[in-house]
Structure 1
């Protein structure tokens, strides 16, 4: 009888708990789930499907541990004299004023031909792309990696990290807290899903489509793939702005209208990419402009009108990054990032 009474008591307590807090929580969860609006799935056009499949079968670089492929100036300096190739994407004038010993100056639009007809890329342990601030090099490196050149890296911070003579007119000049007071704290929702852009390459296989897009993007140059903080903050409503950062960084303050996308779990994932509009300029930004350079290249490969925000958060909230560096693991550019490595002149 005592055993029966104990069982009855336990059942009664469970029933009372279910009728109080526990039951209400269940209803709240169900209510929240029932009001969530989900976009209907959208079919992906044929060429984009083939390109997605080809990139996934080729190693899914954008979701691997080597993305983004950045290298520090100290590591490059340590390997000079070894099997390393330095490709400088700056103007001939900038190259003549100073460059890394052994570097070659190659125009951005000539990169496909250079890799195909001038060098044998896989004879090198590393091929390092170099530019002014590291973001053009990041954009180029992303395309080259996607094309299958797995030994290509972008020099982090560009020539600004090599010597103070280059940093003065680039990163040290670019950091700013000009728009800290205009940051937004509210979370912004994504629009309804739409199909990927139509590529219209006329090619029939994923490999052929990849090659056509790769050559096209280099031929187009890089000018249209970048945008400044001034341009974005002056008229933020003109852009679909992608914040490519952790949620805590996004929540601490972001560009008005910006929508957060996960640093892993966005590229190559159909529902995520279908939430990015095809009829607006897409601004992608991160802390430094390096990661967003890699992301922008991938999006432009699929035909999105994507642009990297030059210098990332450093260009508009540098003081806040310095203040919250330990709390949020920001990477603000300071003179501590500038090396004292030698360079040569033509």
Structure 2
């Protein structure tokens, strides 16, 4: 499916609506209130029907402001029944995406790569986001204790125990996904392909711990390190070790150089190849063919890579949604994909 329209027509809004059927905050990580139509009643609703053979399921999500006066909350439904959270959608659907915001991923800060990594993990492990959120809350509690009650060893021990358990669980989940993805890429790599293969690894103190020690031993060692680093962390105003410092290290495989040193075009191609490999991993691990959302992905590709992208997407089992401002970008897809025009927030033609 190719969505074509001028900038600001609403193409990305359609992709964002689909992305809400995955754990997390969608492809733009926007607040629920910010997703509602400007000038509208303040809420919104999105629904889809999934058909597979004789099975059919209706999924719905949205925001009802009248029902939640003090706190924005998402409403989720499956076949008309309430679901506790978007995690429940993962039984029926997996979604992966690539947006222009990620173009500077390899040269940007480690935090951006860490969020990208967690999205990779979340597509195969729907509970990962809850673990990361719980870990962040525990870290904030520790920081607050270090600032306000630095001599309260009993409470610090308790909070650090929680941080250690959650941090090691997060590190293990990241490591499993990264290793599986790196192995899948290595097994299918081809230097002649238009999208260079990547090698990936994780870099961080906790990543080193879980690579060497069993989980229980890693937790113990992490707790000792936090206890010994209390004065240092209090002075810094934050915890200096832990899963919150992990970095995703990516190398351009054929050239064997850091991804961040490659040209802009090479980085774009490398990122596309990484996302396509991740889509294959999601299918292999979950048994579900993912829905793939690609926002303005073809705009800055040369003709060879654009043709290679379309061929690679055709070989994937999942449904693909792409956007572009220029209809000519999708000329090669005539007869192989549906083209939809979008204007002023509405689909104008199928």
Superposed pair shares fold, TM > 0.5: no
Q: What is the TM-score when the length of structure 2 is the normalising length? A: 0.24
Q: Which of 1 and 2 has higher RCO (CA within 8 Å, sep 6+)?
A: 2
Larger radius of gyration: 1
- Choose between structure 1 and 2: higher strand proportion: 2
